[in-house]
């Protein structure tokens, strides 16, 4: 795609040279859209976010974000590139000894030499966007799970990133908070002109806001398209994943030796 903010080409990755996570992944993340990366557990969805953010380097291939080849950046250049990326961690990852206000102010203080007045204005603007301006003085221990997720979201967008990444943003939320987070992701993407990448297992919520969906399996992108296109796919694998069918091409068992032979080995020893 010519208007892709993130371009991933022929990416290979494995942990310590053992089991391959990726074996030639090609992926485009269109600018200004919400892209979901989905797939069975253990297929490397969160690993993809780490490659995009530069926490990990591929063993082979290209990871380009906004025209920059992320694996080739030195420490200083990577630090600057990350100013343009926001990350919402599954746990929220708030700093427990800092107030809501100071959690959100932290990235600003780390990257810029702004006046306290400017920092205050920026933090309050971001808190207003997530509906928590009145909670600025609360500590993380005083926040509900959903409030923590929203504070973490405000912190992730405080530097006005061009790319937002969400790692399982819907996990462990009650229905009301879940609906709030789903709406916030879509509205912030449109209002702030972001490009968003969501890693999630939640088909319903993700399909309701995603413009583009990629499904990872066995080290490659096995399907990609709009939610509607995937729902109508004639692929047995895609239908099993999208509809949650227990039977299909996606195996239940992790690869292993023959069960009977495995049991007999213990008796022989």
28-58 residues labelled b (16+ CB within 10 A) or e (exposed): bbbbebbbbbbbbeebbbebbbbbbbbebeb
Q: Which helix (H) or strand (E) holds 38?
A: strand 34-38
- Is residue 247 situated within a structural domain? no
φ and ψ of 100, to 5 deg: -55, -50
Which domain, by its residues, includes 98? 4-232
Report how far apart, in Å, the C-alpha atoms of 130 and of each of 110, 187, 194 are.
Answer: 22, 10, 16
The count of structural domains within the chain is: 1
- Only one residue has tokens 């690869």, namely 255
- Is residue 151 situated within a structural domain? yes
- Is residue 195 situated within a structural domain? yes
Closest CA to 163 of 4, 2, 22: 4
Taken in order 228, 29, 192, 110, is the CA torsion positive or negative? positive
- Is residue 214 situated within a structural domain? yes
Q: What is the pLDDT of residue 246?
A: 65
Please state, in angstroms and rounded to a whole number, the distance separating the CA atoms of residues 98 and 118. 19
pLDDT beyond 80 at 87: yes
pTM for this predicted structure: 0.82
Residue 164: which pLDDT band, with cuts at 50, 70 and 90? Answer: very high
Residue 70: which pLDDT band, with cuts at 50, 70 and 90? Answer: very high
- Is residue 173 situated within a structural domain? yes
Domain CATH for 126: 3.40.50.300
pLDDT beyond 70 at 234: yes
**137 or 191, which is more confident?**
137
- Is residue 269 situated within a structural domain? no
pLDDT beyond 80 at 125: yes
Query: What is the overall mean pLDDT for the chain?
Result: 86
Please state, in angstroms and rounded to a whole number, the distance separating the CA atoms of residues 126 and 116. 15
pLDDT beyond 70 at 192: yes
- Is residue 251 situated within a structural domain? no
pLDDT beyond 70 at 110: yes
pLDDT beyond 60 at 49: yes
**Which has the minimum average pLDDT: 17-21, 211-215, 265-269?**
265-269
- Is residue 257 situated within a structural domain? no
pLDDT beyond 70 at 248: no
246 CB neighbour count, 10 Å cutoff: 7
């Amino acid at each position: 795609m010519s208007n892709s903010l993130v371009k991933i080409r022929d990416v290979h990755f494995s942990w310590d040279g053992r089991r391959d996570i990726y074996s030639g992944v090609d992926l485009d993340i269109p600018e200004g859209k919400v892209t979901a990366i989905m797939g069975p557990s253990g297929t490397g969805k969160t690993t993809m976010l780490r490659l995009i953010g530069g926490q990990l380097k591929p063993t082979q291939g290209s990871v380009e974000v906004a025209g920059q080849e992320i694996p080739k950046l030195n420490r200083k250049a990577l630090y600057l590139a990350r100013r343009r990326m926001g990350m919402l961690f599954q746990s929220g990852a708030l700093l427990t000894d800092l107030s809501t206000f100071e959690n959100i102010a932290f990235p600003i203080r780390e990257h810029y030499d702004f006046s306290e007045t400017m920092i205050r204005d920026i933090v309050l603007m971001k808190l207003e966007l997530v509906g928590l301006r009145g909670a600025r003085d609360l500590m993380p221990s005083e926040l509900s799970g959903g409030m923590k997720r929203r504070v973490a979201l405000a912190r992730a967008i405080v530097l006005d990133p061009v790319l937002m990444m969400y790692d399982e943003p819907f996990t462990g939320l009650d229905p009301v908070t879940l609906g709030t987070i789903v709406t916030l992701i879509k509205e912030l993407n449109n209002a702030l002109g972001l490009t968003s990448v969501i890693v999630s297992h939640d088909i319903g919520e993700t399909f309701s806001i995603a413009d583009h969906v990629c499904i990872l399996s066995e080290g490659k992108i096995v399907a990609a398209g709009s939610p509607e296109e995937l729902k109508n796919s004639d692929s047995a694998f895609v239908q099993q994943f999208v509809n949650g069918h227990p039977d299909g091409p996606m195996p239940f068992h992790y690869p292993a030796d023959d069960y009977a032979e495995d049991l007999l080995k213990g008796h022989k020893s």
